[in-house]
Amino acid sequence: MVRVNTQLIDAETGAHLWADRFDRLRAELIETQSEITAGIASTLRVKLVDIESRRGQRERPNNPNAMDLAMRGWALIYASQTQDNNAAARRLFEEALRVDPQAVSALTGLSFTHIRDVLNRWTNAPDDHLPKADELLARSLALAPDNAATHQYTALLRRAQRRSAEAIAAAERAVSLNRNMAAAYTEMGWNYALLGQPEKTEASVQQGIRLSPRDPFLVYWLSYIGVAKLHQHQDEAALEMFRRAIDADPGFPSNYGWLAAAYVFTGREAEAREPMERWLRAVPGMTLTRYKALEQSDHPAYVAQRPRIYEAWRKLGMPE
C-alpha cells in the first residue's frame, strides 16, 4: 500500500489550511497516478472555495465583489444538498451577477440552482426554472465556449428536460475539455439509466467516484448506482448503496425514500417505515401522482422499470 499525504498551506501566513491522504495499492500506483492527482485536485477545489469564501467575508464584509459572492454561493452548494442551501446560494449568485453580469461562475451557479430545484422535486413548476437555466447557460457558453463546467451543467439541464441522449453528448463534450471532470462521467452513467439501460450506469459513475472520491455530490452518485441496481432487481446491493449515500450526506432526503423501497424488496418492511416517514416529512405534499409527473425520463424502458418502486412506496403510505 502506498499513501499520498497532501497539505494546503497559506503561503503568506504559513497557516495550515487543510490536509488529506490517498491510499492505493503499490501495484496500481502507476496506473492510477492520474486518478490520485485528479482526486487531490477535486478535493482541493472544494476546500479552496470554502476557504476563499470565508476569506472574502472576513476581508470584504461590506463590499464583496462578484467572485466573493459566487464563492459563497458555491460553498453553500457544496456544504449540503438541501433546499434551504439551494435558495440561499441562488440569492448570492443573483447578487454576484448584479455586480458583474459576465461572471461565468455565477452564471453556472445560478443555472444549477434552478436545475436542482427541478431534479430534486423541490418545485411543482419546472417551466418556471428550466428556461431560466437555459438562458443562463447560453450566456455562459457565449462568454466561455470551452468551459468544461458549463458543458457539464448543460448536460444536467438536458436531463432535467428529459433529453438524456443530448445530456450524454454534453457530458462527453465536458470530458473532451477536461478528462478529469468527475461529474461528467457520473452524469453519463445516470442518463444511461434514464434511457432504460441501468446495466451501463455503474461503470461510468464509479469512474467519476474514482476521480473525486470525496466529492460533495457523492450523495447523488451513490444514489444513481443504487437506483440502477433497483432497476436490475439487485436489491441487496442497492440497499448498501443507499446506506452509503445517507452516510455521505444525511441531509439529502430522497435517499431515505430509496432506502425504504430497498428494505421492502429485501423483506424488511418493518425497517422501511422510519426512513419512509422521514422522507415524507422532508417533502410535504409529495404524492405518487406528483412524483410520477416530475420523473426525469419518459423513455418506455425506464418507465417499465418503475412500477414496483411506486408499489413499495404505496405500501409504505405514500398518498396517491
**Is 56 within the bounds of a domain?**
no
With beta carbons less than 8 A apart as the criterion, state whether 175 and 146 touch. Answer: no
**CB-CB contact of 256 with 282 (8 Å):** yes
Give Cβ neighbours of residue 59 (< 8 Å, ≥ 6 apart): none
**How would DSSP label each residue in 59-111?**
H-SSS--HHHHHHHHHHHHHH---HHHHHHHHHHHHHHHHH-TT-HHHHHHHH
Instruction: Report the alpha-carbon distance of residue 271 to residue 255 in Å, rounded.
Output: 14
> Measured between alpha carbons, how far is 272 from 288 in angstroms, rounded to an integer?
17
pLDDT computed for residue 81 by the predictor: 78
pLDDT for the residue numbered 55: 56
Instruction: Give a yes or no: residue 9 inside a domain.
Output: yes
Pairing between β-strand 2-9 and β-strand 16-24 as defined by DSSP bridges = antiparallel
Q: For the purposes of burial, counting CB atoms within 10 Å of the CB of 44, is it exposed (0-12), middle (13-18) or buried (19 or more)?
A: middle
Report the alpha-carbon distance of residue 155 to residue 47 in Å, rounded.
25
Domain range for 17: 1-46
Is the Cα dihedral 53, 103, 167, 180 positive or negative?
A: negative
Distance of CA 207 to the CA centre of its chain: 15
19 three-state secondary structure: strand
Check residue 249 and give left, alpha or beta (phi > 0: left; psi -120 to 50: alpha).
beta
Query: Is the residue at 31 inside a domain?
Result: yes
For the chain, list residues with pLDDT below 70: 1-64
- Residue 41 CB neighbour total at 10 angstroms: 13
- The verdict on residue 11 lying in a domain is yes
Confirm whether 138 is domain-assigned.
no
DSSP state of 128: G
User: What phi and psi, each to the nearest 5 degrees, are found at residue 145?
Assistant: -65, -20
> Is 10 within a domain?
yes
The number of residues in the chain equals 320
DSSP state of 4: E
Q: What pLDDT, on a 0 to 100 scale, did the predictor assign at position 62?
A: 46
Cα–chain-centroid distance for residue 29? 28
Residue 28 inside a domain? The answer is yes
Beta bridge partners of 8: 18
pLDDT of residue 41: 56
Give a yes or no: residue 86 inside a domain. Answer: no
Residue 64, CA distances (Å) to 25, 45, 301 in order: 45, 21, 49
Number of domains in the chain: 1
Residue 24 has what pLDDT? 58
